[in-house]
Amino acid sequence: MQATSSSTSKVVNLYLEANPNPNSMKFVANFMLLPESMSHDIPSIKEADNSPLAQQLFSLEYVDRVFFMSNFVTVTKKDGIDWLEIREEIKNIIKTYLESGKLVIDEISDQNQIDENDSETVKKIKGILDEYIRPAVEQDGGAISYHSFEEGKLKVLLQGSCSGCPSSTVTLKAGIENLMKRMLPEVQSVEAEGV
């Protein structure tokens, strides 16, 4: 699926939001960057081929990860540098890029989309993730998507500010796992994949 593009320059307003991960900051735009419920996590410059904006951000030595979703970009910085020293530079790069009207991602796909070949349990899992869990995680500058379900064990992908967040393990076990077990007894445990 292709994200929305405009050939004319846009009026861009950005504001910043902190989140539970002290190394991540949300840069929120006044318009949608990606279609609803789609996200794209770029953990390194090696995986930024389809995003010129991410490539620009990774050119800054202190940028560790870039994540796009809805109307925001979450940037994760490396340890040892304060947000006060770098946030304006990052904000200016994002604002200038968005004003050009270019796409933030060339091609994206939705891992949470229900597939007709999914089992009934997997369809229910994806529905719970989408309706109950994704909005809360998105509010904190991250995303959660379905990875796999086997023998009672649900594996999810944590992206954006959730990746490497000190509180993500607590959120995963105390929040997501408890909710899943309560709503869907087939789920016995929830684990993060690739964190």
What mean pLDDT is reported for the chain?
83
Beta-bridge partner residues of 24: 76
Q: How confident is the model at residue 83 (pLDDT cuts 50, 70, 90)?
A: very high
pLDDT at 1 (0 to 100)? 45
Model confidence at 5: pLDDT above 60: no
The helix (H) or strand (E) run that includes residue 99 is helix 83-99
DSSP assignment of 55-66 equals HHHHTSTTEEEE
Q: Whole-angstrom Cα distance, residue 72 to residue 142?
A: 10
Report pLDDT digits (tens) over 32-70.
998 876 788 898 999 999 999 999 999 999 999 999 988
Read off the pLDDT of residues 119-163 as tens digits, 9 standing for 90 and up.
888 888 888 888 878 777 777 777 778 888 899 898 888 777 666
Q: Pairing state of beta strands 39-42 and 63-69?
A: antiparallel
pTM over 0.85: no
Report which of 42, 127, 32 is spatially closest to residue 72, judged by C-alpha positions.
32
Q: How many residues does the chain have?
A: 195
Ordered by where they begin, the domains of the chain are: 14-99 (3.30.1370.70), 120-193 (3.30.300.130)
Q: Does the pLDDT at position 6 exceed 70?
A: no
Express each pLDDT in 93-118 by its tens digit: 999 999 998 889 886 655 556 667 78
